Amino acid sequence: MTRSPTRAFSQRYSSGPFTDLETQAVLPGIEINDCGYKIGLNVVDSGALRFYSVRIPRDNLLNRFGDVARDGKYISSLPTINRRFAATLVTIAVRYALLRQQFGLPKESEISVMDYQSHQHKLMPMLASAYAFHFSRAYLVDMYSEMKKTNDEDVTDDVHVLSSGLKSYITSYTAKSIRICRESCGVHGYPAVNHFGGLWNDHDIFQTFEGDNIVRCSRLLEIS
């Protein structure tokens, strides 16, 4: 913690010492807080730094998951992280549906669960969305790279709008998808070994990272 802060998904702290290298006392103007034990995502140590009259050069920001443009706009890469949740969940559910067999005509083999249209209607849209999220993420990363290279205000505005919109949509969509995928696996979706419970707990916070999704959508309408 002395030389580099613990990483969090929303990290945007600075690289450098926060405590005295000899006494470990917190340096003047810096306050360190720990978020404590959470519902999920406890593999990530979550905390906060508060600076009082401390100037941090832009080059010292640890901005892997979030950045602040020169005009003060905050840009998040959370859609990139959430598409992983969507892809993981639908992969588990689809593989289960292809292997699980249930019911069939007398004296004939049982039918794969995926062959039922009702099951396809639940999972196929989510599978397609996982691909859509992947390509949306790639497009956003390209825009973000262009913004960092050119400092073009128009590109910065586009990245701000797109990242805010994708964050709100993908996190809400993925939250609903977790429940559907879990239910699609029947009783086998409930044991912890199949990860649905852990993924739900870890994902839930993404709906309120950087603000409530409803507030973000309202803000998006104002700026778009």
Residues near 101 by beta carbon (within 8 Å), at least 6 away in sequence: 109, 110, 111, 112, 113
Residue 222: active-site member = no
Q: Which of 31, 110, 153, 210 is catalytic?
A: 210
Under DSSP, the state recorded for 37 is S
Q: Provide the token pair at 43.
A: 């593999």
Which class for 205: exposed (0-12), middle (13-18), buried (19 or more C-beta within 10 A)? middle
How crowded is the C-beta side of 28, counted as CA atoms within 13 Å?
1
Residues 6+ apart with CB under 8 A from 208: none
Q: Which active-site residues does the annotation give?
A: 210
